[in-house]
Copies of this chain bind each other. A is one copy, B any other.
Amino acid sequence: MSSIKEIAKYVGISPASVSIYLNDKNSTRVSAKTKLLIDEAVLALNYHKNVFASSLATQESRIIGIIIPTMLPLFQNDYTNTLLSGIQTRLSAFGYSMLFFPSSAKSSIEIVKEQLEKSAGCDGYILFSTGFCTMDQIRKNITEIEKTGRPFVTLNIPSVPERIHQVLIEGLETASGIPYLISKGHRNIVLLLGRRAGVHARFLKNDFKTRIAAAGIKCDENSIIYGEYDALQAYSAVKEVLETRPETTAICSMSDIMAAAAIKAVQESGRTVPDDISVIGRNNSLHAMLATPSITTIDLNMHQAGLSAANLLLDAVDGNTAPQKIIISGTLIERESVAVR
């Protein structure tokens, strides 16, 4: 826990010289002899630079704040983890750290406010969307984050003003297996959504209805069920719908985990996937690959989205203020869980 001053005293020079050398080993403003002495002192005194003091002085921290408005524990969600992984890969490559803030608040707006309160000093932010945010809350969150005056990027948040740097999964609101299932001849599809309140739920529901109607299929409200992006809850929901709607031929799930749970439920009801019931997932996570049968799914390319978000933010931090919107497309991965009707 030594400081630059102690190094300076140890060597017998001014703190300025130490700082100059440590920040630029090739500086011509420090003699070769002094450089050696500083190196020695650094080792002898266990010197580690205090990032915070440094950030304060330079007005840049090389730290990016990650804002995830959820009350759930972090690092438990496949989507989010994949995004984070992409973000971290890129940020790390450019020498940036990632900071995750605590929060005890109970609503998405409160969480964002609380987190931002502790965050001034970060070079930029990445704002996630979660199934807990309504469109209205998201707007407020964005206002809040804009007030910091720091650059930021929104991730997968639909209908955000064009002036804001953003990364979107192409039609995330509507990227589902519905068109694919219809094209395979399915007429009796159940839509397995995540959270009722999520920003995307409404879009997905409307899209579902529109497409179903366009295909000349009647749609009843019972064909939309919710699994909270959770295996157990999805399992129960599917078990139930299999009883109430035995005519169902396909389940379109909004996550692979829920799709895997759906397959379990179908199999336990004595039916087979895909012969009796087809199942399609989303995200192309490991679950889709490893399930039996393996799951046909839509790869949302979340890792790429994370990379792009980090790129965008780094650009913005470098002063590039022109708003950019990056759109990542999904890719259909055909496997074994969907049969033709």
Residues of A within 8 A of B (CB): 1, 46, 48-53, 55-56, 61-63, 73-76, 81-82, 84-86, 88-89, 91-104, 116-121, 147-150, 231, 257, 260-261, 263-264, 267, 286-287, 289-292, 294
In contact, A88 and B101 (Cβ under 8 angstroms): no
Q: How far is the CA of A51 from the CA of B149 in the complex (A)?
A: 16
In contact, B148 and A48 (Cβ under 8 angstroms): yes
Given contacts A48-B116, A51-B120, A56-B56, 4 further A-B contacts (CB under 8 A): A76-B81, A93-B102, A99-B99, A257-B290
Q: How far is the CA of A56 from the CA of B91 in the complex (A)?
A: 25
Q: How far is the CA of A118 from the CA of B46 in the complex (A)?
A: 13
Which 9 interchain pairs have the tightest Cβ spacing? A92-B102, A48-B120, A52-B52, A260-B290, A46-B147, A292-B292, A52-B121, A75-B85, A75-B84
Query: Which residues of B have CB within 8 Å of A52?
Result: 51-53, 55-56, 61, 121
Q: How far is the CA of A119 from the CA of B289 in the complex (A)?
A: 39
What are 25 residue pairs bridging A and B, where the CB atoms are less than 8 Å apart in the complex? A1-B120, A1-B148, A46-B149, A48-B117, A48-B120, A49-B117, A51-B121, A52-B61, A73-B88, A75-B82, A75-B85, A75-B88, A81-B81, A88-B100, A93-B104, A94-B102, A95-B104, A97-B100, A97-B102, A98-B100, A100-B100, A257-B290, A286-B287, A287-B287, A290-B291
In contact, B51 and A118 (Cβ under 8 angstroms): yes
Closest to A46 in B: B147
Copies of this chain present: 2
Q: How far is the CA of A88 from the CA of B77 in the complex (A)?
A: 14
Query: Which residues of B have CB within 8 Å of A147?
Result: 46, 48
Q: How far is the CA of A118 from the CA of B84 in the complex (A)?
A: 21
Would you give the shortest CB distance from A338 to chain B, in whole angstroms? 17
Would you give the shortest CB distance from A238 to chain B, in whole angstroms? 12
Query: Which residues of B have CB within 8 Å of A231?
Result: 286, 289-290
Would you give the shortest CB distance from A103 to chain B, in whole angstroms? 6
In contact, B93 and A97 (Cβ under 8 angstroms): no
Query: Which residues of B have CB within 8 Å of A294?
Result: 264
Query: Which residues of B have CB within 8 Å of A257?
Result: 286, 290
Closest to A92 in B: B102
